[in-house]
């Protein structure tokens, strides 16, 4: 094998990967508070470690300029080594552990958490490199089981509150939140060739993939003209249906809030309220996927948060 071929197969080093400050810099732009300042400093730090891993693998899957599969393999290899698990993947010289990986591994070891959810998050980003369409909603939900649900299960573990029933509610919430993110970025994803809307739903609403990309000022496809004034009524109806589906999942998972107490109840209510507020913002745009994504308003977030907490108080009070 030539030196050039060997170099092509080598994974990126930690120095080649996005630095920690850039990975964590997205936290303030999320739909929900990543780590509420009302939480103890140690818990906030652990939540940020989990968020850092999720953002790192997302960055590698979405924006890394080199071999994305190799980059994902490398950070997973680093995590396995840092956790003392059996080495897998590339077996060459070890590079320094990325700061995000080191923080995540330390958190998992100290709290005695299962590591599989972290590997599931990496696997979701591998899937993004290979799967660009989902035929059914069940297929998309299967992707969310890798890309979103592990986060909720890890959060429950960090707080020592994991039970099978809570895990089920958490999965509904996390899948709902993942769908919200997809529906905020339909046009942006379509431009790069990704379509998360189930193909069966697009056929049902008679919406073509062509309609998912916004018209360009310097290009007009005369064979498939688009009406001016934003997305078509059919496309808006399709997105209203998808938004309602996401909101239904958030509602289905809301008993989780009542099952928890103290700071975790508030934190989970914040996640759910953020999802609802983001859906409100989409509705305010009349589900126009061409419009600039509207930021969830603080007023809507607070309204949903107070409603969730009041409902949780009634539920938990009735159980006593």
160 in the same domain as 109: no
Could you give the CA distance from residue 86 to residue 52 in angstroms, rounded to a whole number? 23
- Tell the residue number behind the tokens 């994974």, with chain if given: 11
Could you give the CA distance from residue 166 to residue 183 in angstroms, rounded to a whole number? 26
Which of 125, 90, 86 shows the shortest CA–CA distance to 12?
90
CATH of the domain at 144: 1.10.600.10
* Coil vs helix vs strand at 223: coil
DSSP output for 133-174: --SSHHHHHHHHHHHTHHHHHHHHHHTT---HHHHHHHHHHH
100 in the same domain as 174: no
Say yes or no to pLDDT of 40 above 90.
no
- What is the domain range of residue 190? 133-215+230-320
* Residue 143 placed within a domain: yes
DSSP output for 25-66: TTGGGSSS-SS-TTS-HHHHHHHHHHHHHHHHHHHHHHT-SS
pLDDT band at 39 (very low <50, low <70, confident <90, very high): confident
* Residue 140 placed within a domain: yes
Residue 189 and residue 196 in contact, taking contact as beta carbons nearer than 8 Å: yes
124 in the same domain as 186: no
pLDDT band at 222 (very low <50, low <70, confident <90, very high): very low
253 in the same domain as 147: yes
**Residues above pLDDT 90, as percent of the chain:** 69
**pLDDT for position 13:** 63
Could you give the CA distance from residue 135 to residue 40 in angstroms, rounded to a whole number? 43
* Chain mean pLDDT for the chain: 86
**pLDDT for position 90:** 43
* Residue 29 placed within a domain: yes
171 in the same domain as 26: no
* pLDDT one-digit tens code per residue, 235-292: 999 999 999 999 999 999 999 999 999 888 988 999 999 999 999 999 999 999 999 8
The most confident of 1-10, 125-134, 215-224, by mean pLDDT: 125-134
138 in the same domain as 56: no
**pLDDT for position 219:** 43
143 in the same domain as 199: yes
What are the CA-CA distances from residue 214 to residues 88, 196, 226, 242, 270 (Å)? 43, 16, 9, 19, 32
* Residue 37 placed within a domain: yes
* pLDDT one-digit tens code per residue, 199-218: 999 999 999 999 999 876 44
Could you give the CA distance from residue 109 to residue 195 in angstroms, rounded to a whole number? 37
240 in the same domain as 316: yes
String of b and e for 154-187 (b: at least 16 CB within 10 Å)? bbbbbbebbeeebeebbbbbbbbbbbbbbbbbbb
pLDDT band at 14 (very low <50, low <70, confident <90, very high): low
314 in the same domain as 188: yes
126 in the same domain as 146: no
* Residue 225 placed within a domain: no
Lowest average pLDDT, out of 54-63, 141-150, 310-319, goes to 310-319
Based on the structure, what is the number of domains in the chain?
2
Residues 216, 218, 224, CA angle at the centre, nearest 5°?
A: 55
Say yes or no to pLDDT of 56 above 60.
yes
| 26 compared with 70, residue with greater pLDDT | 70
Question: Which pTM was predicted?
Answer: 0.83
* Residue 150 placed within a domain: yes
189 in the same domain as 282: yes
Could you give the CA distance from residue 179 to residue 289 in angstroms, rounded to a whole number? 14
* pLDDT one-digit tens code per residue, 130-148: 999 999 999 999 999 999 9
**Residues above pLDDT 70, as percent of the chain:** 80
DSSP output for 86-147: PP-S--SPPPPPPHHHHHHHHHHHHHT--SHHHHHHHHHHHHHHH----SSHHHHHHHHHHH
pLDDT band at 157 (very low <50, low <70, confident <90, very high): very high
**pLDDT for position 319:** 56
**Could you tell me what percentage of the chain is helix, strand and coil, using 3-state DSSP and rounding each to the nearest 5?**
65, 0, 35
186 in the same domain as 82: no
């Amino acid at each position: 094998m030539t030196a050039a071929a060997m170099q092509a197969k080598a994974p990126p080093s930690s120095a080649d990967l996005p630095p920690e400050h850039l990975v964590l810099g997205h936290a303030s732009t999320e739909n929900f508070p990543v780590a509420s300042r009302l939480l103890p400093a140690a818990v906030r730090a652990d939540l940020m470690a989990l968020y850092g891993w999720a953002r790192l693998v997302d960055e590698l899957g979405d924006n890394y300029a080199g071999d994305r599969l190799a980059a994902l393999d490398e950070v997973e290899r680093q995590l396995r080594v840092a956790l003392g698990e059996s080495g897998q993947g590339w077996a060459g010289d070890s590079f320094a552990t990325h700061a995000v990986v080191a923080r995540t591994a330390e958190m998992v070891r100290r709290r005695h958490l299962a590591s599989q959810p972290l590997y599931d998050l990496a696997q979701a980003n591998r899937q993004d490199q290979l799967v660009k369409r989902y035929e059914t909603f069940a297929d998309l939900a299967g992707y969310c089981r890798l890309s979103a649900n592990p986060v909720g299960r890890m959060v429950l573990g960090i707080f020592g509150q994991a039970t099978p029933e809570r895990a089920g509610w958490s999965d509904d919430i996390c899948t709902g939140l993942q769908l919200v993110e997809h529906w905020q970025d339909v046009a942006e994803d379509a431009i790069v060739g990704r379509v998360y809307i189930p193909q069966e739903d697009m056929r049902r609403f008679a919406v073509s993939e062509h309609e998912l990309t916004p018209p360009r000022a310097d290009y007009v496809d005369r064979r498939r003209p688009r009406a001016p004034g934003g997305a078509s009524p059919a496309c808006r109806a399709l997105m209203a249906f998808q938004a309602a589906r996401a909101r239904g999942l958030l509602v289905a998972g809301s008993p989780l809030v009542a099952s928890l107490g103290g700071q975790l109840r508030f934190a989970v209510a914040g996640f759910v309220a953020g999802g609802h507020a983001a859906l409100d913002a989409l509705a305010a745009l009349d589900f126009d996927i061409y419009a600039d994504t509207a930021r969830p308003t603080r007023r809507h977030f607070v309204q949903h948060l107070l409603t969730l907490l009041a409902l949780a108080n009634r539920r938990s009070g009735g159980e006593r």
